[in-house]
Amino acid sequence: MPKISGSTLEEHRENTRAALFRALSSLLREQSFESITMTQIARRAGVGRTAVYNHFGDKESLLFALMSTMTEQFTQTLAEALSHTDDPLERLRIYIRAQLELKQHFHLSEGVNLRNLVRTQPAEKVRAHVQVVEHILQHLLAQAHAAKIITEPPTPLTMLMIHSALTGPALPHEPKQRQQVLDHVEAFILRGLGASETALEQAPDGMEKLDFGFPVEEIDADSLNTATYARCPINVVV
């Protein structure tokens, strides 16, 4: 009889899913997705191989569930941060910094084609998952554009360029270097959107102390120079 982790079967299921998500995330930092097996995932999660298939038919389904769960958690955290201000420029800054912080919590190998990895999922499901984050950015851009804070309208190409700029190196662990990267990427994107230098100089108070609740992780020096950290595929075209 398998050991039940939790006071109810539902709690046991949630605990098992969480363990599988942690296992896959951990393995993705060590090897390519293609080389990971369901047996490895089960062993890393501390569950039987059969238990994995009770939840997911294949590793692609597990990856998609992981991405969907992380998107849901991210959007909830982002919505909470955005609720504290109505200022369009500050809301854009929050979005940019939240995305940069998020990169450290979903790692895939450099050059991974996320669309191919979830090819077993119906296209409409993948697209709906992608649109969750796209809609948030589109709204923020429309708000800033209407307020004449930026000159670029919220077109699909504009959003693609923003997300491309956000897929750069991981944030350094050292606080001062970390802040420099955050400031540089933020200024680069806002200038590209047409924000004035006057607006950029008027940084909202407390932005440096903004905390999304993501744990800070150690990233080695080689990773900072060579790795591409791909998160939820918010700019995948399906």
- For 49-92, write each residue's pLDDT tens digit: 888 999 998 888 898 888 778 778 888 888 888 988 999 999 99
- pLDDT tens profile 182-197: 889 999 999 999 999 9
Give DSSP secondary structure letters for the chain.
Answer: -PPP-SSSHHHHHHHHHHHHHHHHHHHHTTS-GGG--HHHHHHHHTS-HHHHHHH-SSHHHHHHHHHHHHHHHHHHHHHHHHTT---HHHHHHHHHHHHHHHGGGS---TT--HHHHTTTS-HHHHHHHHHHHHHHHHHHHHHHHHTTS-SS---HHHHHHHHHHTTSSPPPSSHHHHHHHHHHHHHHHHHHTT--HHHHHSPPTTGGG---SPPP----HHHHHH-----S-TT---
> What pLDDT score does 185 carry?
92
